[in-house]
Chains A and B, each alone.
Chain A
């Protein structure tokens, strides 16, 4: 079956530090990959996505590249802000001929200190 593995949190960084949150996956077929974010007291929202190998998703200074050879989709940001403090979820769907529901990783809590 499908699965997503994320690095354990919490990740604590100082403002302007570089961020990497690792994500690897196991999937049937050719999955689409997503990062969702959950800010304190808010609902889940899509941060970025990539649908084919070597695609780079980007939004709000965050980036992730779909690496089929390493089955990875690591999230990066060059300079984090206090406002980036949230829980980040890596997720996948199976692709257009497969299961449409999202399979999520366990989430990584990011805490950014001023």
Chain B
């Protein structure tokens, strides 16, 4: 079946602009995660959604970052007033119904964000 998909694959923006990144998880997966991968910081957790529960936002680096998940499926990560340090690859992952800690997280191909 289809894996996790993300769009766009690449995004170049100017400093100060807002960007939206989209993630389509694997059908039926109720857990969804956002991470980012950058040269300086490695792979970092950003936010986690599980079903209808309140999201775990503990990894968001600033209040410029927000995410929502509509209808328990598609998620959008929004970065407002982008800064050059936001340049990174943003990865989305989803896991099965239980969302347990041992569940395999399946990753999308990522969105490469470049802030000029």
Whether A72 sits at the interface, judged by CB under 8 Å, is no
On A, residues with C-beta under 8 Å from B are: 31-32, 36, 42-46, 49, 51, 89, 91, 93-96, 98-107
Within 8 Å by CB of B59, from A49, A51, A93, A101, lies: A101
Q: Given the complex of chains A and B, what is the CA–CA distance between A107 and B89 in angstroms?
A: 15
Q: Given the complex, which residues of B lie within 8 Å of A99, measured CB to CB?
A: 56, 58, 101
B100 near A89: Cβ-Cβ < 8 Å: no
Contact A94 B101 (CB under 8 A): yes
- In the complex, residue of chain A having the shortest beta-carbon distance to the beta carbon of B3: A43
Q: Which residues of B contact A103 (CB under 8 A)?
A: 45
Question: Shortest distance in angstroms between B58's beta carbon and chain A's nearest beta carbon?
Answer: 8
A100: which of B48, B107, B108 is its contact (CB, 8 Å)? B48
Q: How extensive is the interface on chain B, given as a class?
A: 20 to 34
B109 within 8 A of A: yes
A101 touches B56 (CB 8 A): yes
A104 interface neighbour in B43, B56, B110, Cβ under 8 Å: B43
| CB nearest neighbor in B for A106 | B42
Nearest B residue to A100, CB-CB? B101
Residue of A nearest to B104 (CB): A46
Asked if residues A51 and B105 are in contact (CB atoms below 8 Å), the reply is no
Assuming the A-B contacts A51-B102, A93-B102, A106-B42, are A100 and B50 also in contact, with contact meaning beta carbons closer than 8 angstroms in the complex?
Answer: yes
Cβ contacts A to B, 24 pairs, < 8 Å:
A32-B101, A36-B107, A43-B91, A43-B108, A44-B93, A46-B106, A49-B104, A93-B102, A94-B101, A96-B101, A96-B102, A99-B101, A100-B31, A100-B48, A101-B48, A101-B56, A102-B33, A102-B45, A103-B45, A104-B42, A104-B43, A104-B44, A106-B42, A107-B42
| Chain A residue with the shortest CB-CB distance to B101 | A93
- Are B102 and A49 interface neighbours, CB within 8 A? yes
Specify which chain B residues have a CB less than 8 angstroms from the CB of A96 in the assembled complex.
Answer: 100-102
